[in-house]
């Protein structure tokens, strides 16, 4: 069992870890949460699952504990229900999620088999992380999975969630999971390679390399980040999630799914959100 897992069993909370101060320290991260969006791993981009798994497996092989927060259940289920677009009513969204989650985890496990890594499915609702008892249960289950060298794949439990109690997007879920397990690093993946000063593609828009802990990003004009149509997140949700995790002591790197290998190798890609030191 890892030191963090033992601490969790003793105190009910994961032990604090060393704070990462720069991208160069990413290869030393002991516990990493990676979040990937629907548009990056579903539909015509389903082929990105294999290189994503390659990068996760490389981090796993060097001893890191890796958690994947993956959207995509509804988007993956849509073609199996013979729908032309993302459903708007809750019942059909739930049906698509029930079918798509099964297919999505199968695809991940099929790719992970190449490395002898076993995935564990963890489905959460917002209520699970709001109530102390269920939050503690989720934390202990996650700690045990990591201690057994299982790779947890986390998603919102869309089949039972309602509009009133949803996380709203998996960027926030990933930040809350990072807080739950006291992760060293949160990597937020989308279709865009970094956070920009203005919507990418607009004249004068520049990538932002680093965001200091005390930067409120008031000078950034927010637009969408990622493909429309299958996901629910955008630049605003990613910034909010990044700040939530960083304020709790987890460094955050926002980049594209295509650059995940470089990101987890410590290369200078994406936007780095400096973490606030943990007390």
**104 CB contacts (<8 Å, ≥6 apart)?**
41, 42, 70, 72, 73, 76, 155
The CATH number given to whatever domain includes residue 55 is 3.40.1160.10
Q: Does 191 show up as a binding residue in the annotation?
A: yes
Identify the domain containing residue 196 by its residue range.
3-273
206: in domain: yes
Using DSSP, state whether 113 is helix, strand or coil.
helix
166: in domain: yes
105: in domain: yes
Q: What's the whole-model pTM score? A: 0.89
278: in domain: no
Q: Does 38 show up as a binding residue in the annotation?
A: no
Per-residue pLDDT tens digits of the chain, which is 279 residues long? 555 555 544 444 455 456 899 999 999 999 999 999 999 999 899 999 999 999 999 999 999 999 999 999 999 999 999 998 888 888 898 899 999 999 999 999 999 999 999 999 999 987 888 889 999 999 999 999 999 999 999 998 877 766 544 566 789 999 999 999 999 999 999 989 999 998 888 888 999 999 999 888 877 877 644 444 444 457 888 999 999 999 999 999 999 999 999 999 999 999 999 999 887
Q: Does 42 show up as a binding residue in the annotation?
A: no
Q: Does 238 show up as a binding residue in the annotation?
A: no
Q: Does 193 show up as a binding residue in the annotation?
A: no
45: in domain: yes
118: in domain: yes
177: in domain: yes
Q: Does 71 show up as a binding residue in the annotation?
A: yes
279: in domain: no
The tally of domains found in the chain comes to: 1
DSSP 201-215: TSTT--B--EE-TT-
């Amino acid at each position: 069992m890892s030191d963090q897992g033992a601490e969790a069993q003793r105190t009910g909370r994961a032990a604090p870890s060393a704070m990462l101060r720069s991208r160069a320290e990413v290869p030393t991260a002991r516990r990493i949460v990676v979040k990937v969006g629907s548009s990056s791993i579903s539909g015509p981009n389903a082929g990105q699952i294999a290189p994503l798994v390659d990068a996760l497996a490389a981090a796993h092989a060097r001893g890191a504990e890796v958690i994947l927060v993956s959207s995509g259940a509804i988007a993956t289920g849509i073609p199996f229900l013979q729908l032309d677009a993302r459903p708007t009513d809750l019942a059909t969204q739930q049906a698509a999620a029930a079918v798509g989650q099964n297919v999505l985890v199968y695809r991940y496990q099929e790719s992970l088999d190449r490395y002898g890594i076993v995935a564990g499915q963890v489905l959460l609702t917002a209520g699970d992380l709001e109530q102390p008892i269920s939050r503690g249960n989720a934390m202990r289950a996650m700690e045990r999975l990591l201690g057994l060298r299982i790779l947890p794949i986390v998603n919102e439990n869309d089949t039972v969630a309602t509009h009133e109690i949803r996380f709203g997007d998996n960027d926030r879920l990933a930040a809350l999971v990072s807080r739950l397990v006291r992760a060293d690093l949160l990597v937020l993946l989308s279709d865009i390679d970094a956070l920009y000063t203005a919507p990418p593609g607009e004249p004068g828009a520049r990538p932002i390399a680093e965001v200091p802990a005390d930067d409120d990003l008031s000078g950034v004009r927010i637009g969408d980040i990622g493909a429309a149509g299958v996901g629910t997140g955008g630049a605003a949700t990613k910034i909010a999630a990044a700040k939530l995790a960083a304020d709790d002591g987890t460094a955050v790197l926002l980049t594209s799914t295509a650059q995940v290998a470089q990101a987890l190798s410590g290369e200078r890609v994406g936007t780095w959100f400096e973490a606030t030191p943990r007390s």
